[in-house]
Amino acid sequence: MTAGMPVALVDCNSFYASCEQVFQPRLQGRAVVVLSNNDGCVVARSREAKALGIKMGEPWFQARHRLQGQGQAEAVTALSSNYALYADMSNRVMRILGRFSPRQEVYSIDESFLELDGLPEPPEVTGQRIRATVLRWTGLPVCVGIGPTKTLAKLANHLAKQDPAWAGVCDLAVLDAGEVERLLAPIPVAEVWGVGQRLAQRLGALGIETALDLRRAPSKRIRQHASVMLERTALELRGIACLDLETLSPDKQQIRCSRSFGATVSSLAELTEAITTFTSRAAEKLRAQQGEAAAIAVEIRSSAFRRDAAAYAASRVVPLAAPTADTRALVAAARAGLNRLYKPGPAYAKAGVILLDLSRAAERQPDLFADSSADDRSQVLMATLDQINRRFGRGSLTLANARPAPRWRRREQFRSPRYTTRLDELPVAHC
DNA sequence: TCTGGGGTCCTAGGACCC
DNA sequence: TCTGGGGTCCTAGGACCC
């Protein structure tokens, strides 16, 4: 644990909403919200949408009703999420950020840590160049937080977003302790990275209500009442680096694919279709990291928001005979699990699968008794399947019972075109 | 009518063993 | 009536993140 080099957290402002505004300039300066799968919840809000009191994660039908009551419904544009667009824009942003430091951790779709060390200029100046470059090359606004630790960089980013006086870049690493403490004093402890609502409540009972309180809390007291994780967080708030920059993204330990349905389903046949589709998608992701799964979990449930007698949720883990990345073997196991879980009656609202016990295919000990030629044939077939789906679009080639347009498919009433990843949906400039 | 999806890590407690 | 102690492994559940 050392006093670290300055680290920056670069975070796109209202990322999904900003992506939409880049390609639909008439949305700039307007309240825009982006909705989750099935147009269910609000997952991104433009600044103007936040100002209208729309909450993150709020069910859209509730927000809409409230806004209608206030005569504000017309002021908001709601869009279905367009992940193809956001993922592509994210890749562009991350590549640009990589030019500013050889040490980069891509933390999420819209956030990246950068180590700012050995620069010929003050980090704050680099921060401003990052903002200007990303804006000019992608149209997306970002804020930059800088600190001696990742946790302080996160908090600095929060400050930069909150107070326009920072002009989008807040560097805590250059401030003395007194100035840092003055800035942390008004920040609720729940804003600190790693402290959620539950923990904030418990800390409140101990008299720890702000980021400053947590910074000053004795380690022993924290360990007594919470976890070693929180103790690390408190040290990070004091400028003692406990969290390394993770420049290599590790393989996933589990791969999940689950969806709420656009319309509830009751029949085993339809659930089988859904589970087949989800397993195929998860297997694709598994092969993309050269992995194999030794088990698969299947889950089905009725709506979590209805408390009637028919409420039903069940899951089951099915071990595989041998670790595999073959869609056919995974689907067979998932279907076996589903058959054990299924009971007629409930209106199923959601289903999913999780690939578990993952390992690298290349590191597996060969099974002396297995037919290795079957293994080779499977790999060739799966590689071909993935290649075709990459070239012609996801779902071009599927197992026989994964149908293309099932009744339970998601609702997406308001999706914008996939401007950057589909030739037939390119933006058109009218001259 | 209408309530997301995909991850990680830690901990408590049970099973099992000597 | 009284029923060890400690280690390891696994799993389920909780909390957190975006």
Which residues does residue A244 pair with via DSSP β-bridges, in sequence order? none
| Strand C positions within 7 A of protein Cβ atoms | 12, 14-18
Say if residue A118's pLDDT is above 90. no
Q: Which residue has the tokens 């409140």?
A: A204
Does A354 contact strand C, using a CB cutoff of 7 Å? no
| CA–CA distance, A415 with A39 (Å, rounded to integer) | 10
Q: Among all strands, which nt has the closest C1' to A227 (CA)? A: B10
- Average pLDDT along chain A: 92
Sheet of A76-80: strands edge to edge? A42-45, A31-35, A76-80
Give the residue from A313, A256, A263, A328 showing the smallest Cα distance to A286: A256
Per-residue model confidence as pLDDT tens digits over A391-412? 887 777 777 666 667 888 888 8
A149 Cβ contact list (under 8 Å, min separation 6): A4, A7, A236, A237, A239, A240, A241, A242, A243
Give whole-number Cα distances, A31 to A28, A123, A230, in Å: 8, 33, 36
Per-residue model confidence as pLDDT tens digits over A61-94? 999 999 999 999 999 999 999 999 999 999 999 9
**Side-chain half-sphere exposure of A231, counting CA atoms within 13 A:** 11
Per-residue model confidence as pLDDT tens digits over A166-197? 999 999 999 999 999 999 999 999 999 999 99
Say if residue A1's pLDDT is above 50. no
| Strand B positions within 7 A of protein Cβ atoms | 2-11
Q: Which residue has the tokens 């990345």?
A: A325
Count the neighbouring beta carbons within 10 Å of the beta carbon of residue A383.
11
